[in-house]
Chain A
């Protein structure tokens, strides 16, 4: 009897969730569908799921614009920025977790605060500083201002705190300097959270829009998210090519997410995200 009730409950839940899956994926299916239609077909009032397959959108997205160059730009910004954020974050988190020093708690509170203040608050002066450093229209102008990430420091510190201090002490007695304690003990033992943060930071850096939009003006240096304007004018938009570009630019994200997704939940669980 109980078994029976459990099974019905499971079925109801499954149906409900599948319905929601449909809703969540609908935009994505639609995007792919449009990317495969001709312009005339899209505007002819047919149901858009069906109709003849048409690869023109993809041809335009790949060859009418320097797609691969822009993808490379995005990857470069994403990878460099993420590595920098992890390195600087690990150093800071190590200091917060391992040492006791005057001003520690206030400094940590400050780091939390940087997480809470919208980056738009300091947008204009940061832009001016980058301009003064002659770094407008360069990759370092995009990357460097956001290398210290409160999110990374915060989560790494939480995770470092869960490691027993005895390990670090043992390493010190064995003659490890602080740098090696950080690297061999703290960083090596935090694989999951580092991967998680790496993936999440990479995705958000790869997808970042607001800041690159301001800093980069040369079309050669553009990252992928800025490429869409090429299929869009004031009055009109090329639907097929735009959706093909959208589909293409989701592929790298999707691959990375597929590889890393099992880390993401564990990483959050391990770090004990708390206020």
Chain B
């Protein structure tokens, strides 16, 4: 054993693992093991209190299949993603373009638009819940200036998810903007000059130069944006609690409810596994598509 790991062999193989050891140990304990644990739990019944964890096969999954709340949460999870991600990405991109072409004030705008990103999600959720208040909130107060009587945004099935999604967009577009700004800065300005000499107008430069050159960043934003929209927990927990009538419930919140309110751990674990499979599928599909579209 000692002989195996002496001299150059040790340096080549042993050393990197010494540097990796802390991270790998943490991942093993707090990621791989819990993950395997979740997988097993999804085939068991358990209330977290008693020691009994009877194996029940696909029961948890079957009960999810019959569970109306689950289908609603699943639908809402995707709805929320399609409400927030594209808009936040487009706003972020346009702002990055405009800001980079400005003569003055760039730093100021960047500062303001990134402010919601660094703000505490709890503060934001509470602040916006009050803003949405039917009687005293600023949203309806402003609407009433135009003679519109606003609804009770958060406690009405037809508006609750949208109301949360608006906050999601408000909080995230600055992040996308910043990533695009850093991408724009990295583009070689000579390319634009060359294109100008060839007689390309602004739109052509945007479509044939800027967009393709930024496509790796767009891919990164789309994947990370979709995944983070799947993790939208604090907004739902604080603003609506999934209500009314589960109209704003999403998978991560239902998972939390099943585990820590109803103590049906098996069912929560089954939701976890499904959530994982969905995220995995989305990522794989996106990477596959991107092979064709993304230019490095």
Residues of A within 8 A of B (CB): 10, 13-14, 16-17, 20-21, 24-28, 30-31, 34, 42-43, 45, 47-48, 87-89, 91-92, 94-96, 98-102, 104, 107, 110-111, 114-126, 128-129, 144-148, 153, 178, 182, 203, 206-207, 209-210, 214, 224-226, 228, 237, 239, 242-243, 246, 249-250, 253-254, 257, 261-262, 264-265, 268-269, 272-275
- Quick check: is B269 within 8 A (CB to CB) of the other chain? yes
Q: Which of B12, B128, B179 contacts A268 (CB 8 A)?
A: B179
Interface size on B, residues (CB 8 A): 93
Chain A residues with CB below 8 A from B256, complex form: 120, 123, 210
Given A47-B141, A126-B30, does the pair A253, B120 have CB atoms closer than 8 Å? yes
Chain B residues with CB below 8 A from A128, complex form: 37, 48
Chain A residues with CB below 8 A from B1, complex form: none
* Majority secondary structure, A binding face: helix
The chain B residue with its CB closest to the CB of A182 is B19
Chain B residues with CB below 8 A from A264, complex form: 114, 178
- Segment touching A, from B157-165, B192-200, B215-223: B215-223
For window 167-206 of chain B, which residues contact chain A by CB distance below 8 Å?
170, 178-179, 181-183, 185-186
- Quick check: is B8 within 8 A (CB to CB) of the other chain? no
Q: In the bound complex, do residue B122 and residue A225 qualify as a contact, i.e. CB atoms below 8 Å apart?
A: yes
Chain A residues with CB below 8 A from B103, complex form: 10
**How many residue-residue contacts, CB under 8 A, span A and B?**
251
A209–B121 alpha-carbon span in the complex (Å): 8
Given A99-B15, A148-B30, A228-B122, does the pair A48, B38 have CB atoms closer than 8 Å? no
Given A123-B259, A273-B217, does the pair A265, B178 have CB atoms closer than 8 Å? yes
Q: In the bound complex, do residue A101 and residue B130 qualify as a contact, i.e. CB atoms below 8 Å apart?
A: no
Q: In the bound complex, do residue A27 and residue B182 qualify as a contact, i.e. CB atoms below 8 Å apart?
A: no
* Majority secondary structure, B binding face: helix
Q: In the bound complex, do residue B127 and residue A246 qualify as a contact, i.e. CB atoms below 8 Å apart?
A: yes
**What are the interface flags for B138-150 relative to A under an 8 Å C-beta threshold, 1 for contact and 0 otherwise?**
1001000000000
A30–B131 alpha-carbon span in the complex (Å): 8
Between A and B, 10 residue pairs with Cβ closer than 8 Å are A13-B98, A13-B102, A27-B124, A48-B136, A88-B23, A99-B12, A110-B27, A118-B279, A124-B265, A243-B130
Q: Which of A210, A214, A228 contacts B126 (CB 8 A)?
A: A228
- Segment touching A, from B66-74, B79-87, B105-113: B105-113
Q: In the bound complex, do residue B131 and residue A95 qualify as a contact, i.e. CB atoms below 8 Å apart?
A: no
For window 213-253 of chain B, which residues contact chain A by CB distance below 8 Å?
216-217, 219-220, 223-224, 227, 230-231, 233-234, 237, 252
Given A14-B105, A95-B16, A118-B252, does the pair A147, B119 have CB atoms closer than 8 Å? no
Q: In the bound complex, do residue A118 and residue B227 qualify as a contact, i.e. CB atoms below 8 Å apart?
A: yes
Given A13-B98, A99-B12, does the pair A272, B122 have CB atoms closer than 8 Å? no
